[in-house]
Amino acid sequence: MFVPSVTNPIGDFVRNLVPQVTAYLPVAFQSETLDSVVAFLINAVICIIAVCAVNIGSAPILIYMERKVCAHVQCRLGPMRLGWHGTIQTIADVLKMLFKEVYAPSGADKLMFYTAPMIVLIAPFMVCALIPFSKDLVVADVSMGIPLIIAVNGFGVLGILLGGWSSNNKYSLLGALRSGAQIISYEISFAMILLFVVMISGSTNLMDITMSQQGTVFDWWIFKIPVLGFIAFILFFISSTAEMNRAPFDIAEAEQELTGGYHTEYNGTPFAMFYLAEYIALVTNSALATTCFLGGFHAPCIGIAAVDNVLNMVPGLVWFFGKVFFMIWCYMMVRWTFVRPRVDQLMDFEWKFLLPVNLVLLTAGAAWIAISG
Amino acid sequence: MTGMLPPGFRIQRETNTEEFFINMGPQHPSTHGALRLALRMDGETIVELVPHFGYIHRGMEKQAESMSYLQYIALSDRQDYLTAIQNNLGVVIALEKGMNIGVPEKAEYIRVMLQELGRIASHLVFFACFGGDLGGQTCLLYGFKEREMIHDILEEVTGSRLTTNFFRPGGSRYDVPDTFIPRVKAFLDHMDDTMKDYERFLSKNIIVLERSKGIGILSKEDAIAYGCSGPVLRASGVNFDVRRANPYSIYDSFDFEVPVTYNGDCYDRYTVRIAEIHESMKILRQCIDRFPTEGPWRAKEKPVRLPVGRYYSEIETAKGLYATYVVAATTGEKPYRIHTRGPSFPHIAALNKMVQGHKISDLVTILATLDPVIPEIDR
């Protein structure tokens, strides 16, 4: 019989469910191959439901949060009218966006134009499936987690390039080209920092990386290695901001220059998909930062038994999302504080500053491993 | 459309595959109104720029010919709406020259104070748009926050927030209320603190420095040749301020500096304006100390009909030199012709010189530091 790679509640659930489902099928087809096919399909359905629930559920919350954070940074109140403190505002906006007429500009390559937002959505969804949300809650616990994330994360740029090119608009094309250059450049730093994490934790599996940070706060990778961990965290923060096309590195959208960049011509549902992808990327990058540097789902224990027992009583899922939302809050504060660098300065920053620093960091990490054994 | 462009601007598709044409505006978020810029680009680098005006042309100068002088004061609000109160004064001073009417001391103080408040308001909008155009949306809101306080004061004094229509030959429409001086004083105290925050927000920010230093350099000679004025001219190293060079109202009795910087780049234009906010606050404080509470607030003489002649006035608005030329062909209430010389038009004319070889992002920065108001160009 097909055995899922992890022993967790989801795995047990699937294992119980498979015989029940196969019982309904004709006897002539009963075989071990059928079992594994059914198990695979059930797994896929569960994965899709779980990932969709997390992603699509978090998007309205994040949009509401962004509006409120932005408003309070700017001495405003933000949405206040619809629902308590404007809580229903986002849902109303989402509904409005979904019911809008969808049309493509004349001269646009229709097939590419409508495929692009879907491609953009794939990448963050796939990354989300790899993140261990809790000790027993990981959709796909693959051994090559980090390389897969690096591979998949760069996939979104294809959608952005396609969307910009197929819009038949020069601003869109400029935005797409900027975005292509930017994401491909920052991908290198992004991958190198993850490589640093792999090096110090000794595993490419995200669950193993999380488990290697078990213990107190000072066992998290951000603090465990003196200074280096913190530098790596800051570098990860910078390169993931650029990777997500988020302000201050949002030169691909650059409202003031390109009137919206690659999604200038999009409206209605396709635009909502770009928007959704942006926010899911925010969740996945924050989750990645949490997993790699902030101890994943582990409670922030401080080494005093009485306090730690209380902290450990809170489920890991809560700690995980608490940390994720803290990271999201950091990304938002940065977005609403800094101004945007120019496109060539952004490239200079990557190739002349971030990359050399990363190389030094990798070397220093290797030295630290050699010294500490 | 290509027929409207200069000869070198037409892109030969067969011979030149490197360059392409981009149309920026009139509905672009950073052109500060209905301004259209035709750009010839090489990748992201601007080769040539041609500005197009006239999208909101309302024929103000023609309208003025069938209006009384007092009606034209209201129309001058609608030119540069950010410095409406200053435009009022420019028109009024031209009329006063013909009417030979004296302005009482209190009226002069009211004028100077409202002028400087208007200057601070306009420069705050510049601060907001400069930050906003660089990508810092938060700046946009911060600048407008303090501007609202000025507008509250203006509302109390003039009855309207933006289009003030306040000054009249020989004084103003109303006397200022008793709360005016305390409110201005409270505002100045508040500004002292907030300006520190604002300057910390942009002036020393490394990204702002990177994006504005050495960008859009306008040489001293070019600035004079194009007829630039105001902060743009002073950032290029020319010490010219109408308040000093040709004092109007009672500006000769105040102690203030004319900030001048010498690089002529975007950062200098920014620092000049920030320094001017401080100088305006200095003038306002002197006004508060010397403000005459007693005395008439408008001239005893009724404004008489403007005699035949040509009358010219020039004042320093927040944007630069604002001149009004009135030709009265008959003694009456209507002008034969009124011409306004606004500061924004020469600045946009110099834009092509400043942006060549820069990126499209720099164009946005340069345009923000020129601080143009398109209704004032189109009129």
pLDDT value, residue B7? 56
- Does any domain span residue B162? yes
Helix axes A32-73, A110-130, angle to 10 degrees: 100
For the ranges A244-258, A315-329, B162-176, the lowest mean pLDDT is seen at: A244-258
Task: Please state, in angstroms and rounded to a whole number, the distance separating the CA atoms of residues A351 and A359.
Answer: 11
Residue A202: how many CB atoms within 10 A of its CB? 10
Question: Exposed (0-12), middle (13-18) or buried (19+): which is B84, by Cβ within 10 Å?
Answer: buried
Task: Please state, in angstroms and rounded to a whole number, the distance separating the CA atoms of residues B194 and B364.
Answer: 26
Contact assignment for B359 to A342 by CB distance below 8 Å? yes
- Does any domain span residue B51? no
Tokens describing residue A80: 């206040």
Cα of A20 to nearest chain B Cα, Å: 57
pLDDT value, residue B2? 47
Cα of B150 to nearest chain A Cα, Å: 17
Q: Does residue A4 carry a pLDDT above 50? A: no
**Last residue of one domain, picked from the residues A64, A80, A99:** A99
pLDDT value, residue A102? 85
Half-sphere exposure of A46 (CA within 13 A, CB side): 20
pLDDT value, residue B1? 44
**Last residue of one domain, picked from the residues A99, A114, A141:** A99
Query: What is the sign of the dihedral through the CA atoms of A237, A239, A244 and A248?
Result: positive
- Does any domain span residue B137? yes
Number of domains in chain B: 1
Name the residue among B135, B142, B362 with its Cβ closest to that of A248: B135
Closest CA to B316 of B218, B249, B219: B249
- Does any domain span residue B117? yes
Phi, psi at residue B29, to the nearest 5°? -60, -25
pLDDT value, residue B120? 92
* Residue range(s) defining the domain that contains residue A118: 104-372
* Residue range(s) defining the domain that contains residue B285: 65-341
Name the residue among A73, A178, A256 with its Cβ closest to that of B133: A256
Top pLDDT among A353 and B329 is at A353
Name the residue among A258, A337, A345 with its Cβ closest to that of B138: A337
**In the predicted model, what is the mean pLDDT of residues B62-80?**
86
For the ranges A159-163, B13-17, B32-36, B189-193, the lowest mean pLDDT is seen at: B13-17
Q: From chain A, which residues contact B within 8 Å (Cβ)?
A: 70, 73-76, 170-171, 174, 178, 247-248, 250-251, 254-259, 336-345
* ipTM (interface pTM): 0.79
Put simply, whether B337 touches A (Cβ < 8 Å) is: no
Q: Does residue A21 carry a pLDDT above 80? A: no
Q: Are residues A27 and A141 in the same domain?
A: no
Q: Does residue A180 carry a pLDDT above 80? A: yes
Helix (DSSP H) and strand (DSSP E) numbers for chain A? 16, 0
Q: Are residues A261 and A300 in the same domain?
A: yes
Task: Please state, in angstroms and rounded to a whole number, the distance separating the CA atoms of residues A276 and A282.
Answer: 10
pLDDT value, residue B272? 92
Cα of A123 to nearest chain B Cα, Å: 27
Contact B101, B170 (CB under 8 A): yes
pTM of this prediction?
Answer: 0.84
Contact assignment for B211 to A74 by CB distance below 8 Å? no
Contact assignment for A74 to B30 by CB distance below 8 Å? no
Closest CA to B23 of B2, B33, B37: B37
Q: How far is CA A367 from CA A62, A189, A227, A228, A233, in A?
A: 40, 20, 13, 11, 18
Identity of the residue numbered A260: G
Contact B246, B314 (CB under 8 A): yes
Task: Please state, in angstroms and rounded to a whole number, the distance separating the CA atoms of residues A331 and B132.
Answer: 19
pLDDT value, residue A373? 66
Contact assignment for B362 to A342 by CB distance below 8 Å? yes
Give the model confidence (pLDDT) of B195-207 as tens digits. 888 888 888 888 8
Question: What is the CA angle A57-A69-A232, rounded to 5?
Answer: 85
Tokens describing residue A242: 């650029």
Say how far residue B191 (Cα) sits from the centre of its chain: 20
Put simply, whether B206 touches A (Cβ < 8 Å) is: no
Q: Are residues A310 and A189 in the same domain?
A: yes
Say how far residue B12 (Cα) sits from the centre of its chain: 39
For the ranges A3-17, A161-175, B97-111, B274-288, the lowest mean pLDDT is seen at: A3-17
Put simply, whether B307 touches A (Cβ < 8 Å) is: no
Number of domains in chain A: 2
Cβ neighbors of A123 (< 8 A, separation 6 or more) are A152, A153, A154, A155, A156, A159, A277, A281
**Last residue of one domain, picked from the residues A78, A99, A120:** A99
Top pLDDT among A4 and B248 is at B248
Q: State the pLDDT confidence band at A9, using cuts at 50, 70 and 90.
A: low
Name the residue among A170, A247, A343 with its Cβ closest to that of B361: A343
Tokens describing residue B63: 């309208």
pLDDT value, residue A336? 86
Give the model confidence (pLDDT) of A87-144 as tens digits. 888 888 888 888 888 888 887 888 888 888 888 888 887 787 788 877 766 777 788 8
Residue B264: CATH number of its domain: 1.10.645.10
Q: How far is CA B162 from CA A326, B59, B150, in A?
A: 42, 21, 10
Contact B243, B249 (CB under 8 A): no
Q: State the pLDDT confidence band at A8, using cuts at 50, 70 and 90.
A: low
Strand stretches in A88-228, DSSP E: none
- Does any domain span residue B230? yes
Give the model confidence (pLDDT) of A48-68 as tens digits. 787 777 777 788 888 888 889
Greatest mean pLDDT among A202-211, A278-287, B269-278, B353-362:
B269-278
Give the model confidence (pLDDT) of B19-37 as tens digits. 778 888 788 877 777 888 8
A75 contact residues in B (CB cutoff 8 A): 141-142, 145
